[in-house]
């Protein structure tokens, strides 16, 4: 029961670096240099969690060794039993930490703490797909409410029966992207459509995209690459709708990406919001291009979230929701559609972190 040598070496180096940073934060010259102090404080904070857990691990190992020695010399039966119980607790703690520490050493996704641009589109299935798209939009809105996140609807393209062809929303909150990023993909629904009179079960699909909100410095958008059009807003939005040309449509000429926004109250606000959505889409496009280059070298890429993948099925007759990536099924479909997603998300995070760890270990052993 021990960590592999290459993990111990990494952890020792991080602990040493953490101690160096702690000392520098107390240096008077560093304190006076605000930019340098901020940089050091940020790195110090990033290392703190893994270093504290590593120190806790080493302390538990030491306590285990001491208790085992004590057990050899102690003669009192009641005290020996207490020591045995303490040894069992320590062994369980050490076993848990030996699984957790390698996961903490994995490279962090730089987007994890960012806000999210959520994009939902009706896929195959006509009006039934559009109706289910509306239910998924509500599901993510309810999930955001459960997490205490802010949910803003940015654009909505509705159908006559209450469905949606496309919806775009912004979700703001700590760790929003880190928890929602695995929701990207094709969501499949199986049920008897409201529009179907014969009672046959139909299969329809809805596409969900989870994009990290990115800063201007991360994606440069040149004004000459944009075609900006204004129009009158339609649908929900209050009394201002249809009275002025407040809606904005932006076309990014080099890529052909088109973004519309009509839910803000002024043309200026809609333009700013549309540019945020465009920036997120361009960032995703650039990330995909990089991933495609990596896929040529590595076929099984962890956590690609390709939209063509059918990631989850919502089966109404069986009250069943199945995530195909982790072969996990629950029979509480109404609760899931009401935003009860944490069970799925927690398992997905564990799954992809474990897969990433396997690949890193394979790479280390192959080196």
Classify residue 190 as exposed, middle or buried by CB count within 10 Å of its CB (0-12, 13-18, 19+). middle
> From edge to edge, which strands make up the β-sheet containing 320-323?
150-158, 164-172, 116-122, 202-212, 185-191, 310-315, 320-323, 328-330
3-state secondary structure of 75: coil
DSSP state of 98: H
CB atoms within 10 A of CB 21: 20
| 46 contacts: CB under 8 Å, gap ≥ 6 | none
Give the pLDDT of residue 105. 85
Say which residue the tokens 């993510």 belong to.
140
- pLDDT of 148: 95
pLDDT in tens, 72-100: 888 888 999 999 999 999 999 999 999 88
Tens-of-pLDDT digits for all 367 residues of the chain?
Answer: 567 788 888 899 999 999 999 999 999 999 999 999 999 998 999 899 999 999 999 999 999 999 999 998 888 889 999 999 999 999 999 999 998 888 888 888 888 888 998 999 998 888 889 999 999 999 999 999 999 999 998 888 888 788 899 999 999 998 899 999 999 999 999 998 876 666 788 889 999 989 888 766 567 788 888 888 888 766 544 444 445 567 888 899 888 888 888 877 788 888 888 888 888 888 888 777 766 654 553 333 333 333 346 899 999 999 999 999 999 999 999 999 999 999 999 999 989 888 888 887 777 777 6
Strand partners, 328: 323
Angstrom distance (rounded) from CA 202 to CA 191: 6
SS (H, E, C) 173-240: CCCHHHHHHHHCEEEEEEECCCCCCCCCCEEEEEEEEEEECCCCCCCCCCHHHEEEEEECCCCCCCCC
pTM, entire model: 0.69
User: How buried is residue 323: exposed, middle or buried, by Cβ count under 10 Å (0-12/13-18/19+)?
Assistant: buried
Place of tokens 């062994």: 91
| Pair of tokens at residue 182 | 């695995």
Sheet containing strand 226-231, edge to edge, reads 226-231, 247-252, 257-261
Give the pLDDT confidence score for residue 327 in this predicted structure.
93
- pLDDT tens figures, 347-357: 999 898 888 88
Alpha helices in 74-195 (DSSP H): 77-104, 126-147, 176-180
Counts of helices then strands in the chain (DSSP H, E)? 9, 11
Report which DSSP code applies to 141. Answer: H
Cα distance between residue 304 and residue 325, in whole Å: 12
Distances (CA, A) of 201 to 86, 161, 198, 317: 57, 19, 9, 8
Q: Minimal CA–CA distance to 219: which of 265, 279, 177?
A: 279
Q: Which tokens go with 14? A: 């991080």
Query: CA nearest 233: which of 206, 271, 207?
Result: 271
Helix (H) or strand (E) holding 335: helix 333-337
Spell out a b/e string for 287-312, using b for 16 or more CB atoms within 10 Å of the CB, else e: eeeeeeeeeeeeeeeebbbebeeebb
């Amino acid at each position: 029961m021990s960590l592999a040598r290459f993990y111990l070496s990494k952890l020792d180096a991080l602990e040493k670096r953490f101690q160096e940073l702690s000392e520098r934060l107390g240096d008077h010259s560093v304190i006076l240099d605000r930019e340098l102090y901020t940089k050091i404080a940020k790195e110090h904070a990033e290392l703190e969690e893994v270093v504290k857990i590593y120190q806790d691990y080493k302390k538990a190992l030491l306590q285990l060794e001491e208790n085992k020695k004590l057990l050899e010399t102690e003669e009192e039966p009641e005290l020996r039993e207490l020591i045995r119980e303490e040894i069992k607790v320590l062994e369980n703690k050490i076993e848990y930490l030996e699984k957790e520490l390698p996961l903490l050493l994995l490279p962090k996704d730089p987007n994890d703490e960012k806000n999210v641009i959520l994009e939902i589109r009706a896929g195959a299935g006509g009006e039934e797909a559009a109706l289910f798209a509306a239910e998924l939009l509500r599901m993510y809105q309810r999930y955001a409410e459960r997490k205490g996140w802010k949910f803003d609807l940015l654009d909505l393209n509705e159908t006559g029966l209450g469905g949606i062809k496309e919806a775009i929303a912004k979700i703001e909150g700590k760790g929003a992207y880190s928890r929602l990023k695995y929701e990207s993909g094709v969501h499949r629904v199986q049920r008897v459509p409201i529009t179907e009179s014969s009672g046959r079960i139909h299969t329809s699909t809805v596409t969900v995209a989870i994009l990290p909100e990115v800063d201007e410095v991360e994606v440069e958008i040149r004004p000459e690459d944009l075609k900006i059009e204004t129009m009158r807003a339609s649908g929900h939005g209050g009394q201002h709708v249809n009275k002025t040309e407040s809606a904005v449509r932006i076309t990014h000429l080099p890529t052909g990406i088109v973004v519309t926004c009509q839910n803000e109250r002024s043309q200026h606000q809609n333009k700013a919001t549309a540019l945020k959505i465009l920036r997120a889409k361009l960032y995703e496009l650039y990330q995909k291009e990089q991933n495609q280059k990596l896929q040529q070298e590595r076929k099984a890429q962890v956590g690609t979230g390709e939209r063509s993948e059918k990631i989850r099925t919502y089966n109404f007759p069986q009250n069943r929701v199945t995530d195909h990536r982790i072969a996990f099924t629950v029979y509480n479909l109404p609760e899931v559609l009401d935003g009860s997603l944490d069970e799925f998300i927690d398992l997905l995070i564990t799954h992809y972190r474990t897969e990433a760890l396997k690949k890193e270990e394979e790479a280390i052993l192959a080196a």
